Structure 1
Amino acid sequence: MESRRCSPQIIRTWWNDLVKFGFKTLPSEESSALAPTSNPNQAKSVEDFVAYDPYSGELGDLEHTVVDELPCGYKTIRLEDETILEGTWRKGLREGKGLIRGGYLQIGPQIQAITGIYRHGVLQGLGKVFLESGICLEGQFRQGFLHGPVCGYNPRGSLVFVGCFDGGRPIGIAWKWLEGDGFLYGRLDRSGEFTGSNIAYLYPDLVTCLIGEFANGQLVQGRESKIQDAHMHKELLKLRFHEPRGPTFMLWKSTLTEIRVPPLQEDLYEKKYVEVRDSQLPGAGDGLFAKVPLTQGATVAFYNGIRVRPNDTPPFQSRDYEIYVDWNKPGSKSDYMDLPPEFISIENYRASLGHKINHSFAPNCAWDVVEHPVFGRIPRIVTLRDIEPNEELTCHYKIDMEEAVLRDNLAWYVAQWGKLSQSMQDTQKMSEE
């Protein structure tokens, strides 16, 4: 297949088409899958991810108990190993809708249940594999094995995984969407995880990427790279990357007492889009500014710091820079990030710049969340409209006014609200006159 230069729009269009239509082609009837085995415990080890129903055909001499049976003939059966089978048996073979869960499936990683259509006792055609993570894999089954292109959906029904299976096992390249609109890209290991070298994290712009070694989807070490080109192979978009360069990044998750990232190592994504200058807002000090044109919905900066979990006692008293990770669940329901006083200045800390964005009651940006390869799950800043170069970025801090009036360090926030309220009242009076 001919390779072509890869733009972000190519990736977005391909992904959005899968969201709307799924895969168009189905695997051929000739499957390379192994034949179903009468002794499924020999088919895989505890490390393997193998999506298949080992109990195809007749139950035969398997010890089982009928737990429930509906008038229509639909039965729930428990096997000796605690595996649950559901379906309608005709002449000893399952036909139509059926399910397998628990028991044997729990020998291997991740799988909770498999559902689909049975023909002559064998799972054939479209089926679903439900994982412990909450993701549901949808694809075609051949002779009881998941086989061919597969899409994975989260509990909200959003597409979060694309890959291929052969004989129930993941094979080749896979894509995984992460919270905050980044992607993992690379080959899965035998347990179905992004583990190994030459795995990439694509930042939300789908241009910037870290490529290197990952373990179970988490960065071990990687360096900056760029996508060289892309080509389509059996409806799966495959990428090639330029040689990595620049400093090494690792997963440096903060703790309650330590910011583990090298404080002066700039984030390779942020430095392309924003910079710190003197704010244009009165008395604000530093501000965060756009370096390039930014479109609505673009991720522009990240907020890393110490991580304070509910019921933790913070190591310092200042609360000037605390930002909840889940901004829509403040208080005891969310972790929050905060910066020690010595890290406020960019002379001492510029690994992330989100703390430099100033407040506005009419902001051009908003808080959201991202699964960042270096910082972990932290707040991100997203544009609310198109923004011109050199324009200052602002966010609504969403501080409860009842709390603000009780804190001396938030007097500026109360004053801004007072000015805005007065301006709104004056405007209303003028309109009434």
Structure 2
Amino acid sequence: MNKSAYLGESSIQMLHTWIRDICDPDFICKTILDQIILDQLVKEGMEIDTTGIPWMNQLEDIRKNYEKKDGFVRSEHEDGSIFDACFKDKKPHGVIRKMNGLGDLEFYGCIAYGKLLGVCWKSVPGGGFMISSNVVFSGPGTIYLYPDCRLGFSGTFKDCLLVSGLLIEVTGFESDERLQGSIIRPVTSTISNQEYKMDISSSELFSSFPLLAEPYESIFVEVGESRIPGAGQGLFAKVDIAFGTVIGFYNGHKVAAEHDFDTTSPYRISLDKDIDLDIPEHLTNLDRYQATLGHKVCHSFDPNSNTDLFLHPRFGLIRCIVTIKNIEAGSEVTINYSYDMTTAPDWYRIAWAKHQKNVRGLPDWRMAMLKSGINIFEK
């Protein structure tokens, strides 16, 4: 294909703007590509295997309900999902975008007569992106980008998980001029020859690469002695961090949910209502496990971060640490453990009582002594 490459910081910013556009529900893919150009390019595209892709069937339903034979259509549904699609001769023929009801990008690409032209994009839980030359986002040559859309992996993937690949950084983008800038692909460079592989925990093995540090996380945080009395080690910001930034990851064994946290591991965290993540006690030290650092984050009732779901290319579906305030370099990262007070461990209930005294001005004998001007012994 006739491609133009754009490199440098300005091009990276252009790439980020393009990504924001295609992920914006209010952005409508109105540009219908020149059909002659598409017809000329179709022989260069990749044949699409629609097996296991439910939205392909949804496209057919949309077409049947569409009054015009050819052209662009936007279909909005009660669940909040959106389809932007182009059709010709009753087939998808142009830019296709599918967004789910949560506003996540499930697919963005250009299809002509059953062939994918260039690459396609999708977002994954937590804010990462997959870029692939096939609609199932598997196989060699697939790219994963972290939420900053600068760091990522390139290699062989299966169902959005990394089979084997290398760490990359984005240096710009390239675009096929004949696709009028509607589809672009990141230009990347390899950072090192360190091979990364899928490392999903099982009941028998927590991690196959326990000392291979998470590269994205290493940009933002490091472990040090917590400033919270008695808390041990904590997590600290290495750089100034804006609110809404994913900064770390909480990996663990997937075990049945347990709500009596006073009798379970202090490193257990909820993944969802049925599953918890837990780290074996003997692997909580950095000399034995440092593939993720989220288990080092300490509790606060006035936290600067929170947790969210994250589909990690190495660890699968885990939790991430995401900031809810701006954090200055050197500051300690904290989250609210959000235990149920009826089953919370003793230290949590005590901390909650102290917190309530501070924020609500509940009775405190020290303050009463300082503020009282009454001498009960005077007559």
Structure 2 residue identity aligned to 1:412: W
Please name the residue that 1:259 is paired with: 206
Note if 1:187 corresponds to 2:133.
yes
**Higher RCO, Cα 8 Å, sep 6+:** 2
Q: How far off its partner does 1:367 sit? A: 1.0
Give, in whole Å, the separation in 1 of the partners of 2:13 and 2:275: 34
Q: How far off its partner does 1:26 sit? A: 0.6
Cα deviation 1:368-420 (Å, max 9, x = unaligned): 1111000111111011111111111000000011112xxxxx22211111111
Structure 1 residue identity aligned to 2:210: P
Q: 1:301 aligns with which of 243, 248, 262?
A: 248
Report the 3-state secondary structure (helix = DSSP H, G, I; strand = E; otherwise coil) of the residue aligned with 1:270.
Answer: helix
Give, in whole Å, the separation in 2 of the partners of 1:163 and 1:118: 21
Please name the residue that 2:19 is paired with: 15
Write 1 or 2 for the structure with the bigger share of helix. Answer: 2
Report the 3-state secondary structure (helix = DSSP H, G, I; strand = E; otherwise coil) of the residue aligned with 2:346.
Answer: helix
2:32–2:71 Cα contact (<8 Å) kept: no
Please name the residue that 1:386 is paired with: 326
Q: How far off its partner does 1:135 sit? A: 7.5
User: Compared with structure 1, are the counterparts of its residues 147 and 336 closer, same or farther at alpha carbon in structure 2 (3 Å cutoff)?
Assistant: same
Cα deviation 1:172-206 (Å, max 9, x = unaligned): 11111111000011311xxx212222211101121
Report which stretch shifted further, 138-147 or 389-398.
138-147
Give, in whole Å, the separation in 2 of the partners of 1:412 and 1:146: 59
Give, in whole Å, the separation in 1 of the partners of 2:228 and 2:251: 24
Give, in whole Å, the separation in 2 of the partners of 1:182 and 1:193: 16
Report the 3-state secondary structure (helix = DSSP H, G, I; strand = E; otherwise coil) of the residue aligned with 1:160.
Answer: strand
Please name the residue that 1:40 is paired with: none
Please name the residue that 1:48 is paired with: 49
Cα deviation 1:151-186 (Å, max 9, x = unaligned): 111133543322111112322111111110000113
Please name the residue that 2:7 is paired with: 4
Q: How far off its partner does 1:270 sit? A: 1.0
Q: How far off its partner does 1:337 sit? A: 0.4
Please name the residue that 1:215 is paired with: 158
Please name the residue that 2:281 is paired with: 341
Q: How far off its partner does 1:428 sit? A: 8.7
Q: 1:226 aligns with which of 159, 164, 169?
A: 169
User: Compared with structure 1, are the counterparts of its residues 219 and 137 closer, same or farther at alpha carbon in structure 2 (3 Å cutoff)?
Assistant: farther
2:166–2:190 Cα contact (<8 Å) kept: no
Report the 3-state secondary structure (helix = DSSP H, G, I; strand = E; otherwise coil) of the residue aligned with 1:401.
Answer: coil
Please name the residue that 2:353 is paired with: 418
Q: 1:161 aligns with which of 107, 120, 132?
A: 107
User: Compared with structure 1, are the counterparts of its residues 306 and 116 closer, same or farther at alpha carbon in structure 2 (3 Å cutoff)?
Assistant: closer
Q: How far off its partner does 1:239 sit? A: 1.4
Please name the residue that 2:233 is paired with: 286
Structure 2 residue identity aligned to 1:174: C
Give, in whole Å, the separation in 1 of the partners of 2:146 and 2:168: 11
Structure 2 residue identity aligned to 1:15: I
2:152–2:167 Cα contact (<8 Å) kept: yes
Structure 2 residue identity aligned to 1:269: Y
Please name the residue that 1:329 is paired with: none
Indicate the RMSD between aligned Cα atoms, in angstroms. 3.2
Report the 3-state secondary structure (helix = DSSP H, G, I; strand = E; otherwise coil) of the residue aligned with 1:150.
Answer: strand
Give, in whole Å, the separation in 2 of the partners of 1:379 and 1:397: 13
Please name the residue that 2:376 is paired with: none
Please name the residue that 2:197 is paired with: 250
Report the 3-state secondary structure (helix = DSSP H, G, I; strand = E; otherwise coil) of the residue aligned with 1:269.
Answer: helix
Q: How far off its partner does 1:425 sit? A: 4.2
In structure 2, list runs of 5 or more residues that go unmatched: 42-46, 373-379
Q: How far off its partner does 1:223 sit? A: 1.3
Give, in whole Å, the separation in 2 of the partners of 1:262 and 1:362: 34
Give, in whole Å, the separation in 2 of the partners of 1:348 and 1:120: 59
For the pair shown, the structure with the greater C-alpha radius of gyration is 1
1:290–1:391 Cα contact (<8 Å) kept: yes
TM-score (norm: length of structure 2): 0.81
Structure 2 residue identity aligned to 1:25: T
Q: How far off its partner does 1:362 sit? A: 0.4
Note if 1:28 corresponds to 2:31.
no
Give, in whole Å, the separation in 2 of the partners of 1:336 and 1:6: 41
Please name the residue that 2:215 is paired with: 268
User: Compared with structure 1, are the counterparts of its residues 343 and 211 closer, same or farther at alpha carbon in structure 2 (3 Å cutoff)?
Assistant: same
Give, in whole Å, the separation in 1 of the partners of 2:88 and 2:198: 39
Report the 3-state secondary structure (helix = DSSP H, G, I; strand = E; otherwise coil) of the residue aligned with 1:284.
Answer: coil
User: Compared with structure 1, are the counterparts of its residues 261 and 424 closer, same or farther at alpha carbon in structure 2 (3 Å cutoff)?
Assistant: same
Structure 2 residue identity aligned to 1:300: I
Q: How far off its partner does 1:284 sit? A: 0.6
Report the 3-state secondary structure (helix = DSSP H, G, I; strand = E; otherwise coil) of the residue aligned with 2:308.
Answer: strand
Q: 2:185 aligns with which of 231, 238, 242?
A: 238
Structure 1 residue identity aligned to 2:157: F
Percent identity over the alignment is 31
Report the 3-state secondary structure (helix = DSSP H, G, I; strand = E; otherwise coil) of the residue aligned with 2:57.
Answer: strand
TM-score (norm: length of structure 1): 0.71
1:193–1:216 Cα contact (<8 Å) kept: yes
| Aligned residue pair count | 343
User: Compared with structure 1, are the counterparts of its residues 136 and 121 closer, same or farther at alpha carbon in structure 2 (3 Å cutoff)?
Assistant: closer
2:118–2:183 Cα contact (<8 Å) kept: no
Structure 1 residue identity aligned to 2:49: D
